[in-house]
């Protein structure tokens, strides 16, 4: 894949949107807050495709690890690797890739296909983020937590909100993708 100036701009744009999504709306609830990061991660996969979508999330995570305050709570720095929610950030990368792979195969994006692709990406985020969160809370922070208690406070509470974000991603995707394709941008 050749990375053009347009691709670099779109990749940076989605990295920036994810950063904004981390701090724009932050509702503290349990060990992880409700933010708009999932919305912009899923949109990155839908709009940019697998490689560029994942790259946008790699750029986002890298920005935070070098110390820019782009993670929830306006935090960042290399020590964030030991933060309970860092696993979700790693999940963003693979999620955008998976969503992009699914969407790249679609000639004419349909709401249901984009929604299902977003749900698959959401499952990836949870599959990586939740075990990481539990491990950090239980083993690194030595908190007396139960698997179910953490599952309830860091996954089950978020599912309705994240499904709404997947719906919004699909609604935006069916409108944005044709426009970008018309201009020879995106997937």
pLDDT digits (tens, 9 = 90+) for 140-150: 999 999 999 99
Residue 174 domain-assigned (yes or no):
yes
Instruction: Please tell me the total count of domains within the chain.
Output: 1
Question: Encoding tokens for residue 111?
Answer: 């709401």
* pLDDT tens digits for range 135-181: 999 999 999 999 999 999 888 999 999 999 999 999 999 999 888 88
| Contact call for residues 98 and 41 (beta carbons, < 8 A) | no
pTM of the model: 0.93
Q: Domain of 154: which CATH number?
A: 1.10.1760.20
Residue 107 domain-assigned (yes or no):
yes
| Contact call for residues 129 and 7 (beta carbons, < 8 A) | no
Residue 114 domain-assigned (yes or no):
yes
Q: What angle do CA 85, 93, 6 make, to 5 degrees?
A: 130
Residue 187 domain-assigned (yes or no):
no
Which residues lie below 8 Å from residue 24, measured CB to CB, with a gap of 6+?
A: 35, 36
Whole-angstrom distance, CA of residue 133 vs CA of residue 116: 25
| pLDDT category of residue 186 using cuts at 50, 70 and 90 | low
Rg (C-alpha) for the chain, rounded Å, is 16
β partners of residue 27: 34
Residue 27 domain-assigned (yes or no):
yes
Please report the pLDDT score of residue 183 as a whole number: 80
Residue 120 domain-assigned (yes or no):
yes
Residue 93 domain-assigned (yes or no):
yes
Please report the pLDDT score of residue 90 as a whole number: 98
Question: Encoding tokens for residue 122?
Answer: 């959401």
Residue 29 domain-assigned (yes or no):
yes
| Contact call for residues 56 and 11 (beta carbons, < 8 A) | yes
**Domain containing residue 73:** 5-182
């Amino acid at each position: 894949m050749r990375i053009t100036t347009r691709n670099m701009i779109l990749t940076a744009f989605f990295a920036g949107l994810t950063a904004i999504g981390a701090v724009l709306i932050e509702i503290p609830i349990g060990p992880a807050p409700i933010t708009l990061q999932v919305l912009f991660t899923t949109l990155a996969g839908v709009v940019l495709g697998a490689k560029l979508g994942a790259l946008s999330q790699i750029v986002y995570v890298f920005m935070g690890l070098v110390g820019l305050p782009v993670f929830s709570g306006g935090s960042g720095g290399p020590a964030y690797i030991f933060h309970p929610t860092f696993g979700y950030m790693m999940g963003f990368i693979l999620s955008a890739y998976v969503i992009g792979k699914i969407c790249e195969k679609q000639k004419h994006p349909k709401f249901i296909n984009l929604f299902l692709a977003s749900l698959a990406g959401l499952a990836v985020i949870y599959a990586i983020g939740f075990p990481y969160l539990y491990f950090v809370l239980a083993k690194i922070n030595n908190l007396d937590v139960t698997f179910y208690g953490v599952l309830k406070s860091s996954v089950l509470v978020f599912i309705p909100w994240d499904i709404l974000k997947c719906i919004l991603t699909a609604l935006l995707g069916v409108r944005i993708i044709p426009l970008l394709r018309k201009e020879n941008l995106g997937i």
